[in-house]
Structure 1
Amino acid sequence: MSGIRMIVSDLDGTLLSEDNRVTDTVKDAIDRFRLAGGLFTIATGRFGPSTESIIKQLNIDIPFILCNGGVLANQDRVLEMEMITLEETSSFLLECDRLGVTVMLFREDGLHAIRHSPQLELFEQKEGIRSSLIHALADDWLTTPVQKVVMVGDVKQIREIWQKQQSSFRKQYAITQSEDDLFEILPPFQSKGTTLKKLMTLMNLESREVMSIGNQMNDLDMLENSGIGVAVANSHPELKKKASYVCSKSYGEGVVEAMERFVFNSTIVRRDA
């Protein structure tokens, strides 16, 4: 096996197939890597309840990254978690809701939404979870800590509203776009890349020993903090420009392609090569 000791992969649009499955081909490649002494884990925008079955399918036995970096956990417990409350963002969230944007809150007790919508139903179906409705006029939803907020809609419109209102916010927040129609609000200074650094320290690894794989711009700093940063073929064009390798194949097949090229073959190409 090559000098790559750990592989970190995004889930949706990357490791999972187009219909959101772990294929046998992907699982076999991961098992082969692990049997050779490698470490495999995930870094995803999903939260705990929607990743449990995938983690079990893949037999992930080291810490993994959830909520776009807001949570570092293993199968036994949460190791680190950052959360936010929503008091001062309420006008922003309610304005987006009024314009037809689907607003979802990710808490430790599950997924919550301001109202039902077709976009919410599709999201529930994709991630295999159910949501509960909150009462927008009650105060408790603003003071209950959340791991992140996900908004489904016209991201350009959402960003415009955010930019108009963010100057009035006293607190800091991180924002990211994990899909073409998903806008996310996270605790400040959180990202997949920042939490990957913590994971590498925890596992006593250097960046040159890590290969990260993704497909969206929320994966960018994760790729940049790895010895090899891989974009699968169906990736965002800007991510492809920044990646050290762009796969010819999409989704999980792209992940297997990268493993064959950089792990199972002897030739290694790193960002610092």
Structure 2
Amino acid sequence: MKYKLIALDVDGTLLNDNHELTEQTKKTIQEVSRTGAEIVLCTGRGPQNSIPFMEEIGLKGYVISHNGAATVDVVTKEVVHQFAMDTKAIGPYMDYFREKKVHFDVNTAFRMYVDNVDGMVVEVRSMYENFLMLPANLPPMQELGEPVVKVTAFDYADVLDKVHEEIGKWTPEFNILRSGEYFLDLMHPDASKGNALKQLAKRRGVRPEEVLAIGNYYNDITMLTFAGLGIAMDNSPLEVKAAADEVTASNNEDGVHAALLKYCLS
């Protein structure tokens, strides 16, 4: 068995554009798991809306959630590692988002908060429904009682382009990255999918050359370059394909199935 740890992004990779896990891809992942390889989901989602996919496939182990900011045990729901943000430093960013009328949410490992749940516009509410999440109202930061691991802004792509450009000029306090066309994430400077995957591989006694990773967006580049074999989906931006070792079919063409068949089951 060449690859002992296999990291799969979720949206745009594991799931098709209808947010569905196809039966073919599910069966192939189960077959790879039976060979002894460990499957880990490595996603921008939180554990509460990524662990159900592990359970559907019948897998134990871990999910690397919030773009690497929190790693969680699938069975016990224990947070085995997280990168906590400086909550005082988050304030100016939230003020900026409010001033620009850019929607944002604040995430702890298992919880998500927004300014006003009842006041969310239809497009925003629909987005959360697609991702199987329902946020709660944000209390004062000092009352959260657990570390904040990610703040996500959600808006049109051109709006986020400008936001990214503007806050990118501030004193660098966070890792700021695009996790999707309509999403911009703020995290601890050390938080990334690649860093979290590196820590998990070390914990599991797996060498980098024994890791295979599949992803489709800019937030996947760190894990694609860490892995011994990094595979980009055909629906990836050119920069992501350039960072990968190989390119598989798109998420609407069961690209994960094709890659696992070629590199793990042939």
Is the pair's TM-score, using the shorter chain for normalization, greater than 0.5? Answer: yes
In structure 1, the residue matched to 2:222 is 221
2:166 to 156, 161, 166: 161
Partner secondary structure for residue 49 of structure 1: helix
In structure 2, the residue matched to 1:152 is 154
The 1:184–1:60 alpha-carbon spacing in structure 2 relative to 1, beyond 3 Å, is: same
Q: CA deviation at 1:143?
A: 8.7
Which residues of 2 match residues 185-224 of structure 1 at below 5 A?
185-224=186-225
The 1:251–1:4 alpha-carbon spacing in structure 2 relative to 1, beyond 3 Å, is: farther
Q: CA deviation at 1:120?
A: 2.4
In structure 1, the residue matched to 2:40 is 41
Measured in 1, the distance between the counterparts of 2:96 and 2:145 equals 18
Q: CA deviation at 1:208?
A: 1.3
CA contact (8 A) 1:72 1:78 kept: yes
Which residues of 2 match residues 1-273 of structure 1 at below 5 A?
2-75=1-74, 76=76, 77-108=78-109, 110-115=111-116, 116-134=120-138, 140=142, 145-153=147-155, 154-164=159-169, 166-167=170-171, 172-251=173-252, 253-265=254-266
RMSD over aligned CA atoms reads 2.1
The 1:22–1:252 alpha-carbon spacing in structure 2 relative to 1, beyond 3 Å, is: farther
Which consecutive residues of structure 2, in runs of 5 or more, have no partner in the other structure? none
Q: CA deviation at 1:33?
A: 0.7
Measured in 2, the distance between the counterparts of 1:139 and 1:17 equals 36
Cα-to-partner distance string for 1:158-212 (whole Å, 9 max, x where unaligned): 1133134x22x7xx31111110121100112110001111111111111111110
* Counterpart code for 1:37: G
Deviates more, 1:12-21 or 1:51-60: 51-60
Measured in 2, the distance between the counterparts of 1:252 and 1:30 equals 15
Which consecutive residues of structure 1, in runs of 5 or more, have no partner in the other structure? 266-273
Partner secondary structure for residue 235 of structure 1: coil
Measured in 2, the distance between the counterparts of 1:50 and 1:87 equals 28
Runs of 4+ deviating beyond 6 Å: 141-144
* Counterpart code for 2:30: D
* Counterpart code for 1:149: V
